[in-house]
Amino acid sequence: MPRVKRGTSHVKKRRKLHKATKGYKWGRKNTIKVAKTAVTKAGAHAYMDRRKKKRTTRRLWQVQLNAAVREHDMSYSQFIGALKKKNIELDRKVLAQIAQEYPAVFAVIVETVKK
């Protein structure tokens, strides 16, 4: 069997790792062993935080809706319950956007739900 020299593939792998750790502090940017774990953990945190972002934005929409609905003498939970009873299928994101940008339209939605 012929001898295989793996210098180029090893260097490629290292170059890719160094590119991923650009901007990291101390040995995490240039020591291979530490850089590998740094990149792995960074990827894990990025994945988790993409999920957290969805959670926090939904909470923001809920707070915005609660503030908008309180102006019409209702609570957030009453509003959402009434929406479900009336089979109005607007999600919280859209409702929060309408409440911010088009308060007159939101007032009509709240009046429809109150009846």
What domains sit in the chain, N to C, each tagged with a CATH number? 25-114 (1.10.1900.20)
Q: pLDDT of 62-72, one tens digit each?
A: 999 999 999 99
Q: How high is the pLDDT of residue 63?
A: 98
* Tens-digit pLDDT profile for residues 76-89: 999 999 999 999 99
Q: Two tokens at 108?
A: 């009509």
Of 76, 75, 68, the closest CA to residue 104 belongs to: 68
The DSSP line for the chain is ------HHHHHHHHHHHHHHTTT--GGGTT-HHHHHHHHHHHHHHHHHHHHHHHHHHHHHHHHHHHHHHHTTT--HHHHHHHHHHTT----HHHHHHHHHH-HHHHHHHHHHHH-
pLDDT of residue 4: 84
- pTM of the predicted structure, to 2 decimals: 0.76
Tracing tokens 């009434």 back to the chain, one arrives at 82
Residue 19 has pLDDT above 90, yes or no: yes
**Percentage of residues of the chain with pLDDT beyond 90:** 91
Q: What is the pLDDT of residues 85-112, one digit of tens each?
A: 999 999 999 999 999 999 999 999 999 9
Give the mean pLDDT of 46-73. 97
